[in-house]
C-alpha cells in the first residue's frame, strides 16, 4: 500500500518537472516556427523525428537499466547496481561512437531523402545522438533507484538548456543549425548534472559481486522492439509527409503534430513513475494492477482534457501558438489529438507489460507498425487522410493491448 501512496506523490513531482520541460519544448517550437517559417521549420521537425527514431537504442538502455536497477533495489542487491551501471556506461559509450560514425556516413542519403541541401544539420543531429545514447543509462539508474527529485531536476535542466541555447543561436543567425546545436548543448548540461547524484556508482572501491549480464542483454530485444515500433508509429508520419507533400504542407502538418503531441507527452511522467514501481512490485511477487489502473485513469483525465480543448477551440489554439500563417493547421488538430490520446493510453499499457515481462503484445505491435507505414505509402492524397490512418491504428492498438492486459493475462508471471 505504501507504494500506491507514494505513486501519486511521485507522479505529481515528475509531472511538474515534465510540465516545465514541455513548456520549454513548446516555447522552443513556437519560437522556431515563427523565426524559421514553414519551410525551414518543416526541415527542423523532420530532423527531430529522425533523431527520435534513431535514438531508440537510448530508450532501450534507459528502460532496461530502470527495470534491473529497480529489481536489484527491491532485493537489496546494491552491489549489482554498481556493476551494472559501470558496464552499461562503458558499452553505451562505445556504441555511441560507432553509431555516430555510421550516421555521418549515411548523412548524404538522409539529406537527399528529406530534400535538405546541406549535410551539416545531419551531422549536428549525430552529435545529439551521442549524448542521447550515453545519458539514458544515468537516467535509468535514477528512475530504478526511485530518485525522482534528481530525475525531474535533470529533465528541467535539459529542457531549459535546449530552449536557451537554441533561441540564442537561432537569434545569432544560425537558423536550423542553431536549433540543433542548442539541443545538443541542453543534452550536455543534463548529462553533467545526472552524474552528481550517482557519483557513488563510479567510486573505485572493489566489490565481490559477479553476475552474468546475459539475462539483461536478453531483455534488450523485446524492449527494443517495443520502443522502436512505438517511435515509428508516432513519428514516421512526419518523415513520410515531408517526403510526399510539398514543403509548405509539410510545415503545416509539423505544426499540427507538435500541438497534437501535447496529448502524447503530457502524461509522460505517469509512465516514467509507473514503470519502476510495477517492476519492483513484480520482483516482490506483489499485485501491480492497481498502479496500472491509476496510471490509465490519470492519463485519460490529462490527455482527454486537452483533446476537449482541441475539439472546441482549435482556431484560438493554432493562432495563439503559431500565428496566422498556420491557419491550414486548424482542421487537423482535433482528429490528430484523438489519435494521440489512444497512443498515450497504449503507451501506458506497453510499459506495464514490459515491466512485468508479459510480451505477447509484441507481435501485434510489429504488425501495426508495418500496417501504418504501408497505409501512408498507399494513401496520402491529403493530410487528413494520413491522420485518419494514425487514428485507426492507435485505437486498434489500445483495444488489443487492453485485452492482453485485462482479459488474456489471468495472472502475472513470476520470473524477474
* Helix/strand/coil for 336: helix
How confident is the model over 179-233, as pLDDT tens digits?
A: 899 988 998 899 889 888 887 766 656 555 666 677 787 888 899 899 889 989 9
Identify the residue whose cell numbers are 493547421. Answer: 329
Answer yes or no: is 286 within a domain. yes
Answer yes or no: is 353 within a domain. yes
How confident is the model over 46-82, as pLDDT tens digits?
A: 888 777 766 777 788 888 899 989 988 888 887 888 8
- For the whole model, what pTM was predicted? 0.77
CA 121, 102, 227, 286 torsion: positive or negative?
negative
Answer yes or no: is 37 within a domain. yes
Cβ proximity of 184 and 207 under 8 Å = no
Rounded Cα distance between 153 and 121, Å, is 29
Answer yes or no: is 330 within a domain. yes
Q: Is a pLDDT exceeding 80 seen at residue 178?
A: yes
Cβ proximity of 241 and 249 under 8 Å = yes
Least Cα distance to 218 among 359, 24, 38 occurs for 359
Render 23-45 in DSSP notation, one character per residue. HHHHHHHHHHHHHHHHHHHHHHH
Answer yes or no: is 335 within a domain. yes
Q: 77 is written with which cell numbers? A: 542487491
Answer yes or no: is 179 within a domain. yes
Report the interhelical angle of 120-144 vs 268-283 (nearest 10°): 40
Answer yes or no: is 414 within a domain. no
For the chain, what is the largest distance between any 2 Cα atoms, rounded to a whole number of angstroms? 65
Q: Which domain holds residue 291?
A: 2-408
Domains of the chain: total = 1
157 burial via Cβ count (<10 Å: 0-12, 13-18, 19+): buried
Within its chain, how far is the Cα of 160 from the centroid? 18
Amino acid at each position: 500500500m505504501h507504494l500506491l501512496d507514494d505513486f501519486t506523490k511521485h507522479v505529481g513531482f515528475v509531472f511538474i518537472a515534465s510540465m516545465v520541460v514541455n513548456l520549454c519544448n513548446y516555447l522552443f517550437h513556437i519560437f522556431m516556427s515563427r523565426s524559421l517559417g514553414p519551410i525551414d521549420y518543416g526541415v527542423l521537425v523532420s530532423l527531430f523525428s529522425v533523431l527520435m527514431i534513431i535514438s531508440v537504442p537510448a530508450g532501450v538502455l534507459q528502460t532496461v537499466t530502470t527495470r534491473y536497477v529497480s529489481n536489484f533495489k527491491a532485493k537489496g542487491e546494491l552491489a549489482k547496481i554498481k556493476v551494472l551501471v559501470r558496464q552499461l556506461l562503458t558499452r553505451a559509450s562505445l556504441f555511441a561512437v560507432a553509431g555516430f560514425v555510421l550516421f555521418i556516413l549515411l548523412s548524404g542519403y538522409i539529406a537527399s531523402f528529406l530534400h535538405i541541401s546541406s549535410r551539416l544539420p545531419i551531422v549536428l543531429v549525430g552529435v545529439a545522438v551521442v549524448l542521447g545514447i550515453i545519458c539514458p543509462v544515468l537516467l535509468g539508474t535514477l528512475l530504478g533507484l526511485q530518485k525522482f527529485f534528481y530525475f525531474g531536476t535533470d529533465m528541467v535542466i535539459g529542457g531549459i538548456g535546449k530552449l536557451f541555447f537554441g533561441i540564442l543561436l537561432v537569434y545569432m543567425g544560425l537558423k536550423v543549425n542553431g536549433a540543433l546545436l542548442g539541443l545538443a548543448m541542453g543534452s550536455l548540461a543534463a548529462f553533467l548534472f545526472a552524474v552528481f547524484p550517482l557519483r557513488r556508482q563510479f567510486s573505485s572501491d572493489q566489490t565481490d559481486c559477479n553476475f552474468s549480464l546475459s539475462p539483461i542483454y536478453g531483455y534488450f530485444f523485446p524492449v527494443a522492439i517495443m520502443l522502436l515500433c512505438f517511435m515509428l508509429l508516432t513519428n514516421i508520419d512526419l518523415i513520410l509527409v515531408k517526403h510526399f507533400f510539398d514543403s509548405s504542407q509539410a510545415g503545416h502538418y509539423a505544426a499540427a503534430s507538435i500541438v497534437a503531441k501535447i496529448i502524447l507527452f503530457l502524461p509522460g511522467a505517469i509512465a516514467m513513475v509507473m514503470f519502476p514501481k510495477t517492476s519492483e512490485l513484480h520482483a516482490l511477487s506483489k499485485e501491480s494492477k492497481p498502479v496500472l489502473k491509476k496510471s490509465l485513469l490519470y492519463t485519460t483525465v490529462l490527455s482527454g482534457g486537452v483533446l476537449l480543448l482541441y475539439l472546441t477551440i482549435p482556431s484560438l489554439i493554432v493562432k495563439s501558438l503559431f500565428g496566422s500563417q498556420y491557419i491550414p493547421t486548424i482542421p487537423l488538430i482535433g482528429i490528430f489529438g484523438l489519435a494521440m490520446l489512444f497512443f498515450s493510453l497504449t503507451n501506458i499499457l506497453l510499459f506495464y507489460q514490459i515491466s512485468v515481462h508479459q510480451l505477447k503484445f509484441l507481435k501485434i505491435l510489429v504488425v501495426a507498425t508495418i500496417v501504418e507505414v504501408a497505409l501512408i505509402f498507399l494513401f496520402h492524397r491529403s493530410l487528413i487522410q494520413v491522420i485518419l490512418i494514425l487514428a485507426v491504428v492507435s485505437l486498434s492498438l489500445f483495444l488489443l493491448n487492453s485485452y492482453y492486459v485485462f482479459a488474456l493475462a489471468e495472472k502475472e508471471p513470476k520470473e524477474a
